[in-house]
Amino acid sequence: MNIFTKRILTAAGIVAIAAFFGSCAKETSVNTVNTSKEFFDAWMSVNHPGISPTGLGVYITEDIPGTGAALTDDDIVLFAEYTITDLEGSITSTTQESLAKQLGTYSLANYYGTDILINDRGYTETGVLEMVKGMKVGGKRTAIIPSWLYTIADYDTEEKYIKANGGSNAICTVSLKGKTTDIEKWEIDTLRRYVALHMDGVDSTKFGYYSKTLVEPTDTATFSSDTSFYINYTGRLLNGKVFDTTIEDTAKVYGIYSSDKTYGPMYVTMAPEYANITISASSAETGNTTIDGFAFCLSRMHPMEKVRCAFYSTLGYGMNGEGSSIPKFAPLVFEVEAVASPEEDLL
């Protein structure tokens, strides 16, 4: 996780997102298109003869109905778990921790569980959106998606998708866990439940931001805008999963230790505007700005204080998430402690 990478993206300001399952559109020659379709049609005739496609050309092979609310066009975000295989049955991607362990691809540093699907062809593969049409929350569906639909594009006919042929053939199994027409409200409601359980129900001091003092400071005055100090921190998801820390023992306990990383207190340089606060490995290095929620937390700290701050994804990594450890639209929790200078510890 790169805490120095600032991303401020909201549901209302969606401007860019990676494909739901990592594919991207590309142009191909007519011969390649014809060959791809001929191969897919031949594979279907051998492996799934008699199955009729949906209107756009996806083949649903299993459909376990859900008992919850049905999807509508107004649902901006869908919450889902999935497993993706190629036509040979080799798993290429999964959100299931148990399956990742069986495959030998499991990592404590990775996030597993419910992922987010944007209900728009501009951000999610057309074939995936086609296969989940009509599903209800709690349902599970498996579908075979031809390569020309396993891509992010918005055409009105299957023929246009076939001509573009932008992806790879895939077999997708999707379990629908939930949906929402308002992702911001969903995040705030989720944060409030967390704060009630883990932060004594403190009030928000900034929209989407909560903070609680864990260790009282030695001074009632906050750090001024022209000062600097050192901190240790640990970042978590709301489920408690640690994704980043400056503390070596904590990194080892939670399975995210890296020999390439130097652990120890970080150097904070304050600024008149909290968004301009910088962090570096030492006072000798040029600092970098950080995500807004973390910077706002630093702007309100006192000498030798330890705080827990929690904030929604607009102040964090937004709809992109961060790497494989922070999912899309994830509220974050940081425990931050102002500490003595490392040089002082050596005296």
Output b/e per residue, 241-261; b: 16+ Cβ within 10 A: bbbbbbbeebbeebebbeeee
Show the tokens assigned to 276: 């301009």
Three-state SS annotation for 231-248: EEEEEEECCCCEEEECCH
What are 326-337's pLDDT values in tens digits? 999 999 999 999
What are 268-318's pLDDT values in tens digits? 999 999 999 999 999 889 999 999 999 999 999 999 999 999 999 999 999
CATH topology of domain 184-345: Chitinase A; domain 3 (3.10.50)
pTM of the model: 0.85
3-class SS of residue 310: strand
- Chain-centroid distance of CA 193 in Å reads 20
Considering the segment(s) 30-180 as one domain, its CATH architecture is: Roll (3.10)
Output b/e per residue, 309-340; b: 16+ Cβ within 10 A: bbbbbbbbbbbbbbeebbbbbbbbbbbbbbbe
Q: Where are the domains of the chain?
A: 30-180, 184-345
Distance CA 39, CA 284 (A): 60
What are 227-251's pLDDT values in tens digits? 999 999 999 999 999 999 999 999 9
Beta carbons of 332 and 1 less than 8 angstroms apart: no
Q: What was the pLDDT predicted at 21? A: 41
30-180 and 184-345 share one fold: yes
- Chain-centroid distance of CA 315 in Å reads 14
Q: What was the pLDDT predicted at 87? A: 95
